[in-house]
Amino acid sequence: MSEPSPPVLISESAIDARVRELAREISDDYSNGDGIVLIGVLKGAFIFLADLSRRLTIPRTIEFIAVSSYEDSDVSSGAVRLVMDVRGNIEGRDVLIVEDIVDTGHTLSYLIGMLESHGPASIRTCALLHKAERAEVEVNIDYLGFGIGDEWVVGYGLDFVEKDRTLPYIGVIDPND
Give the binding site for ligand IMP (CB under 6 A): 44, 99-107, 152-153, 158
> Are the C-beta atoms of residues 2 and 168 closer than 8 Å to each other?
no
Taking the least distance from each CB to ligand IMP, the nearer of 6 and 120 is 6
Other beta carbons within 10 angstroms of residue 173's beta carbon come to 16
In degrees, to the nearest 5, what angle opens at C-alpha 55 toward C-alphas 50 and 59?
95
Give the phi and the psi of residue 20 in degrees, each rounded to 5.
-60, -45
Taking the least distance from each CB to ligand IMP, the nearer of 26 and 127 is 127
Taking the least distance from each CB to ligand IMP, the nearer of 44 and 145 is 44
| d(C-alpha 158, C-alpha 96), whole Å | 20
Taking the least distance from each CB to ligand IMP, the nearer of 93 and 106 is 106
> Closest Cα partner for 10 from 175, 150, 168, 127?
168
Q: How far is the CB of 31 from ligand IMP (least distance, A)?
A: 29
Q: Helices in the chain by DSSP H: which ranges?
A: 12-29, 46-55, 106-116
Q: So which residues are the catalytic ones?
A: 103
Q: How far is the CB of 75 from ligand IMP (least distance, A)?
A: 14
Q: How far is the CB of 39 from ligand IMP (least distance, A)?
A: 13
Q: How far is the CB of 167 from ligand IMP (least distance, A)?
A: 12
